[in-house]
Structure 1
Amino acid sequence: MSWLIVRGKRPAELRAQFGFFETGKREFVPESDVTEALLPSGWHLIFFNDASPPEIGDEALCRISRGAEAMAFVVEEASMVSLARGYAGGKRIWEVLHDSNEGLEHLAVSGEPPKSFPAIRDRLLNELRADQDPCDYLFDVPADLSKAEAGFRHDEDIEGVEGDAFAILERS
């Protein structure tokens, strides 16, 4: 699965730029192919039940980030690869990648991630190193970044939101 969050553009503008339209249907959990939600943090979330939809490609996110901030997140549990990227001003400004195939401590970082990154990384690294039978703690770095920055994590309820938070979208 993957999702992007955008701040600085209206939801209708984002839908138009991506070629989405509203269906008028909602759901409690994002089970449809594409859904959206306005987060209490002010970020607009678009959620994909696909790890690599075209909307989270570098070119699309550079375009969307002109005049806005955008972050994209990918969680691929089958391969235990997770990714977070940040965009602003039409450019990618940071990336955090974890690939467990490279080892449980693998974390490739470029640019300048959000201020919440070092504490998240350090906490998860400490948990990994303290565990007698370690699992893939660093896989959670991108999801925890999403939670810290926008208040959304794919496997948790959205704090402060009741009912069917996710509006179902369709591609044109």
Structure 2
Amino acid sequence: MGFRICYLASEAPPEELVEKLGLNQGDHIDEMPDGDWWTAKLKSSGWTILWSEDEGFGKSAKEQVSKLSQKHRTYICEVNETCMWSSSELWQYGQQLWRVTHAGDGEDKFDLTEVGELPKAFAELKQRHFQTQKNTDENVDYIFEIPLDLPALEIGFRHEDHLETEDVEAFTIIYPNEPEKRPSLLSRIFGR
């Protein structure tokens, strides 16, 4: 089936990231969760990963990410392997510095949209993946990797990486806030 997720990587501590995004923190667990929302701070790079099972979470949280990025650089990475869509963007100083997206479900297998001033490593990464794509007869989408490889160079994590307990300070389950339930008209009338 493939991944259909969004993850954020931030220099913010896990507790602050969860709070600033308006989420709820749950229990610490021993193993990397599967199918849940979670957060963990990587020991190797110090970046906090916030994993969302909602691929649209990054789009809906841009206002909160903008505020968070005034103090902590933050990446938003989106992955939809069912249609080979990938995207990453870096936020700092309250604004998006750059964004790279790939839509692999169209006719152009070299589709890549670039916005903003990309890091120096981007040019080499793009050239390498484009060359691999040109030189292969396989039905593999190498351009899909570019938006995901770029932040991984700094944070040391990609969506398909399996993290072990010793790779992180702790795995913590997180929960999106449920919409506030308003009492029904009848319960407001009768005071229930």
TM-score over 0.5 (shorter chain): yes
Q: Secondary structure at the match of 1:147?
A: helix
Counterpart CA distance in 2 for 1:145 and 1:82 is 11
Equivalenced residue count is 171
Q: Secondary structure at the match of 2:71?
A: coil
Q: By percentage of residues, which structure has more strand? A: 1
1:160 CA displacement: 9.1
Do the aligned partners of 2:58 and 2:77 also contact (CA within 8 Å) in 1? no
Q: Secondary structure at the match of 1:135?
A: coil
Counterpart CA distance in 1 for 2:87 and 2:131 is 20
Alignment of 1:33-72 (within 5 A): 33-39=36-42, 40-53=44-57, 57-72=61-76
Q: Secondary structure at the match of 1:82?
A: strand
| Divergent runs of 4+, >4 A | 162-165
1:43 CA displacement: 0.9
Q: CA RMSD in A?
A: 2.3
1:149 CA displacement: 1.5
Query: Which residue does 1:81 correspond to in 2?
Result: 85
Counterpart CA distance in 1 for 2:145 and 2:50 is 19
Q: Secondary structure at the match of 1:101?
A: coil
Give the greater-gyration-radius structure (CA). Answer: 2
Counterpart CA distance in 1 for 2:31 and 2:118 is 31
| % same residue | 26
- Structure 1 length normalisation: TM-score? 0.87
Query: Which residue does 1:26 correspond to in 2?
Result: 29
1:171 CA displacement: 2.9
1:30 CA displacement: 3.5
Unpaired runs of 5+ residues, structure 2, are 178-192
Query: Which residue does 1:138 correspond to in 2?
Result: 143
- Structure 2 length normalisation: TM-score? 0.79
